[in-house]
Amino acid sequence: MKTLITGGCGFIGSHLSEYLLERGERVEVLDDLSSGDLQNIARIKDHPNFSCTIDSVLNRAILEKVIKRNDFIFHLAAAVGVRMVIEEPIKSIRTNIEGTQNVLELASCFKKKVLLTSSSEVYGKNEKIPFSESSDSLLGSPKVRRWSYGCTKLLDEFISFAYFQEKGLPVIVVRLFNTIGPRQTGKYGMVVPKFIEQALNGEPITVFGDGKQLRSFTYVADVVEAMVSLAKEPSAYGEVFNIGNPQGTITINELAKLIKRLTKSESKIIHIPYQKAYREGFVDMERRVPDIGKIQSQINFSPRVNLQEALLKIIKGSGLNI
């Protein structure tokens, strides 16, 4: 099968590319390198079944060509991280909404199947955990930029299911819960690579807010395997699934302490108010924990890598001998 991965030079996209290539698939990635990196695909760039197009999902002419010549689309291209959403809101909103609209419209035109990556951010300020796919979304004020990401991803889901219902487009939506692993960067606000980099460099480990925020972390290999397995299930189309690891749930304070211990770092853990880290009025999701009963029923999904194992893989990949 010929597979297109939008955002394929990114963290998750590059791991997905490797996974598919190892299983004999032909893979093409489309990436504008706004947050992706060619280094992420360095190991596979010369693979005979791999190709890379440097361009954007906003370029319909290019997008039409790459969609037309592939059978399946993993749509991962999106604005990445809270920091990018806050600093470049217009670009982020346009990429998430217009880019997804382009992918779905052209996929429908050429009769292609799509898996769309959404986010746990769509649950917003809802604190009734764990979040199931039927849980309500509770987003904040449109004047608070932080909520624009969750809003755009939720709108992407609405558009996806509109195409499924009206046009018969085979589409699956997955909501990812804090995916972590090698090659993830901390420069867009991702907490695990940021903490690990600070710990390895002997810098203060900076926790934003009070550190009581509850998060659930999932290793990238588990996420990729779940996405590919769902794509093979005919009954998964027209549905939305959480992909996460409830056993990887931890507060940010506990995460900082765990990373400090695993890296054997002497770094101090300090707290920085949100207003200093971002801007006045910033708010965050206090709890983010998935209910994965639906995906377990669909594909017998069970995350294999626990949080400590995942962190050790990332730390070792950073060159620390432990």
CA dihedral of residues 270, 272, 277, 280 (deg, nearest 10): 180
- Dig out the tokens for 8 from the structure: 């394929």
Q: Is 123 a catalytic residue?
A: no
Catalytic residue among 19, 123, 149, 274: 149
Residues carrying an active site annotation = 149
